[in-house]
Amino acid sequence: MSESTITLSDPHLALQLFGPNDNNLRLVRNQLGVAITHRNGQIRIAGPEESVRVATRVLERLKDKVFRAGSLNSEDVSEALGVTVDKRLPLGFDRQEVAIGNAARRIKPRTEGQATYLEAIRNHDMTFCIGPAGCGKTYLAVAMAVEALKTRSIRKIVLVRPAVEAGESLGYLPGDLHEKLNPYLRPLLDAINEMIDFDQVKYLMEQNIIEVIPLAYMRGRTLNQAFVILDEAQNATVAQMKMFLTRMGEGSKIVVSGDISQVDLPPGTSSGLRDAVQRLNGIDGISFVRLSEGDIVRHPLVRRIVSAYESTPSLGGHVRRNHPKDER
């Protein structure tokens, strides 16, 4: 038998953490098989060593959520249980947190895979991350870029995405160039707007300190002291990937992320991401991180949906995937 204690400094924190009729504690007890008691601001957890360790991690995660958001719901508890039990997060994993503003605005990895991803970005000039939708590939990379900009370790952020998917030509889409590109670049803008105030983002983009551009616009450039992120990299061709990677200049970091199970290139066209993973593996200074459905941190249903699609071949014949709104 093992035992652990968590201290609650604020009695109101306990009310939110435990939930109505202690429902949140009951969920943790039932799933992990531990005894949990609370007295005088002390939560005591007892049971098998591994179960106590995981339960402590779950409750610490939920305590942090209450402190930041002020409340919990059943989905928060189920997600914390699912992520922690699936990945067996090691103690100290959250030391990889990313500071993107003041002390109250920090982003922490929520799975061991995410912690590995952040560590790889910190320690390598070039990082490839392959994983399914919803596991934080883009969001965490953008957070690291914002942190690097705020600490002045880089001078600009460049967010890049293939602007044409499944052979769809921009010339045949309605609107001016900005309107044509916006649906493709919107996910990157959404991520950056979550971390920096709108007015500041606008100013930084006007000064070209932050750029959000299609992949084709990278040709002919050399980027020094920049944090460059290529998102949806599975939709870059081999030639485009080579062009992108060779834009790297002095003092720069590059992060390449994508899902090689969702390639939207025309039939017969090789994915630059898949090719790069095979071609560049083993080169010193380049890190490769693979995330899985266990790292998905969107709504708990997303993980089950991804699992269902990956475990069963298409049931409806050929699936056409050629629009940026289809699979975001």
Among candidates 161, 165, 163, which has minimal Cα distance to 181? 163
Residue 47 near residue 32, CB atoms below 8 Å: yes
* Mean of pLDDT over the chain: 80
Helix (H, G, I), strand (E, B) or coil at 321: coil
What's residue 122's pLDDT?
Answer: 92
Residue 63 near residue 6, CB atoms below 8 Å: yes
HSE-up of 37 (CA within 13 Å, CB side)?
Answer: 6
pLDDT digits (tens, 9 = 90+) for 13-33: 788 888 888 888 888 887 788
Percent of the chain whose pLDDT exceeds 70: 77
- The segment(s) of the chain belonging to CATH 3.30.1370.10 are 2-87
Average pLDDT of span 105-126: 86
Q: How far apart are CA 74 and CA 23, in angstroms?
A: 9
pTM: 0.64
- Determine how many CB atoms are found less than 10 A away from the CB of residue 205: 15
Residue 18 near residue 73, CB atoms below 8 Å: no
Q: How far apart are CA 65 and CA 76, in angstroms?
A: 8
Average pLDDT of span 93-110: 60
- The segment(s) of the chain belonging to CATH 3.40.50.300 are 100-311
Confidence check: pLDDT of 103 > 80: no
Confidence check: pLDDT of 88 > 90: no
One-character DSSP codes across 197-249: -HHHHHHHHHTTSEEEEEGGGGTT--BSSEEEEE-SGGGSBHHHHHHHHTTB-
pLDDT digits (tens, 9 = 90+) for 203-216: 998 999 999 888 98
Average pLDDT of span 121-133: 94
Percent of the chain whose pLDDT exceeds 90: 31
Average pLDDT of span 121-129: 95
Residue 229 near residue 138, CB atoms below 8 Å: yes
What's residue 97's pLDDT?
Answer: 64
Four-way CATH pick for 2-87: 3.30.1370.10, 3.40.605.10, 3.40.630.30, 1.25.40.10: 3.30.1370.10
Confidence check: pLDDT of 184 > 70: no
CATH node for 100-311: 3.40.50.300
- Determine how many CB atoms are found less than 10 A away from the CB of residue 232: 27
pLDDT digits (tens, 9 = 90+) for 256-279: 999 998 898 888 999 999 999 999
Higher pLDDT, 105 or 43: 43
- Determine how many CB atoms are found less than 10 A away from the CB of residue 5: 10
- Going by pLDDT thresholds of 50, 70 and 90, the confidence category of residue 134 is confident
Q: How far apart are CA 174 and CA 101, in angstroms?
A: 38
CA distances from 150 to 83, 143, 247, 250, 285 (A): 30, 11, 23, 19, 24
Q: How far apart are CA 45 and CA 43, in angstroms?
A: 7
Residue 145 near residue 157, CB atoms below 8 Å: yes
Q: How far apart are CA 115 and CA 109, in angstroms?
A: 5
Residue 66 near residue 16, CB atoms below 8 Å: yes
Highest mean pLDDT among 98-112, 241-255, 259-273: 241-255
